[in-house]
C-alpha cells in the first residue's frame, strides 16, 4: 500500500488504517523513541510515547502533504519531537523527585535556555526543509543516518544500495545542505 492509499484509508476507515499504520511503522517509531527515552524512562514510558506519536500523527492526517514528505518522514519527525518532549518531562520529574538542582544537569538560567531552544528550533526547521529538498533516496538516507542513528551498512542493506554509494550520497548531500543553508 502506498502513502496516498494509506492516507485515504486512515480518513475513510480509521480502524483499519491505524491497524496497518501500526503494523508497518511501530518498530521504526519504537526504535526512535527508545533511543532517547529509555536512558531515563521505563519501558512503559517508551510505549506511552509511541502511542502518543501514533495519536499525534492521526490527529494531523488532514494537514499531511505527501508532496512535502512521506508518511514515514512525518512519523520520524513526530517521533523525534515526542521523544524529546518525553525526555524533558522525565528529566523534570527526576529533578523534582530527587531535589536536584538544574546546575547538576549543566543547564543555564531559564531565559538563556528559552532563547537557545527557540534558536535551535528555527535551525531544525530550516534543516528539515533543506533535507526534504534533497529528494529520494538522499532524504531517506539522511533521516535514517542523522535522525534514527542507523549505521551506513544498515542503511545500505535496507535501501538495497552499496555501502560506498550511501557514503557518497551522504558526502554530496552534506555539501548540498551547506550550500542550501549558506555555508552553515
CB 180 within 8 A of CB 133: yes
CB 75 within 8 A of CB 28: yes
The proportion of the chain whose per-residue pLDDT surpasses 70, expressed as a percent, equals 83
CA distances from 34 to 24, 26, 41, 84, 92 (A): 17, 12, 9, 11, 18
Query: CB within 8 A of 149, min separation 6: which ones?
Result: 35
Whether residue 1 is predicted with pLDDT greater than 70 in this model: the reply is yes
- Report CA torsion sign: 177, 129, 123, 142: negative
- In CATH, what is the architecture of 1-107? Orthogonal Bundle (1.10)
The predicted pLDDT at position 99 comes to 43
Q: Where are the domains of the chain?
A: 1-107, 109-184
pLDDT, one tens digit per residue, over 4-20 is 999 899 889 989 999 99
Query: Mean pLDDT of all residues in the chain?
Result: 80
109-184 CATH fold: Arc Repressor Mutant, subunit A (1.10.10)
CB burial of 80-100 (b: ≥16 within 10 Å; e: otherwise) equals bebbeebbeebbeeeeeeeee
The predicted pLDDT at position 105 comes to 46
CA distances from 80 to 77, 102, 105, 118, 136 (A): 5, 24, 21, 17, 20
| 157 vs 160: CA distance, rounded Å | 5
In the numeric block, the cell 494537514 is attached to 63
pLDDT, one tens digit per residue, over 49-89 is 999 999 999 998 888 888 888 999 999 999 999 999 888 88
Amino acid at each position: 500500500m502506498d502513502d496516498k492509499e494509506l492516507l485515504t484509508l486512515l480518513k475513510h476507515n480509521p480502524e483499519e488504517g491505524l491497524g496497518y499504520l501500526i503494523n508497518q511503522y511501530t518498530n521504526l517509531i519504537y526504535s526512535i523513541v527508545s533511543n532517547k527515552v529509555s536512558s531515563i524512562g521505563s519501558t512503559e514510558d517508551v510505549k506511552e510515547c509511541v502511542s502518543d506519536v501514533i495519536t499525534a500523527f492521526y490527529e494531523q492526517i488532514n494537514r499531511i502533504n505527501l508532496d512535502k514528505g512521506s508518511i514515514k518522514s512525518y512519523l520520524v519527525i513526530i517521533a523525534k519531537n515526542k521523544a524529546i518532549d518525553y525526555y524533558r518531562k522525565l528529566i523534570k520529574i527526576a529533578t523534582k523527585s530527587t531535589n536536584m538542582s538544574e546546575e547538576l544537569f549543566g543547564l543555564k538560567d531559564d531565559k538563556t535556555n528559552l532563547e537557545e531552544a527557540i534558536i535551535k528550533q528555527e535551525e531544525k526547521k530550516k534543516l528539515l526543509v533543506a533535507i526534504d529538498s534533497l529528494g529520494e533516496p538522499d532524504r531517506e538516507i539522511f533521516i535514517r543516518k542523522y535522525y534514527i542513528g542507523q549505521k551506513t551498512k544498515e542503511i545500505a542493506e535496507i535501501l538495497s544500495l552499496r555501502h560506498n554509494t550511501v557514503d557518497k550520497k551522504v558526502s554530496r548531500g552534506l555539501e548540498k545542505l551547506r550550500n542550501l543553508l549558506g555555508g552553515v
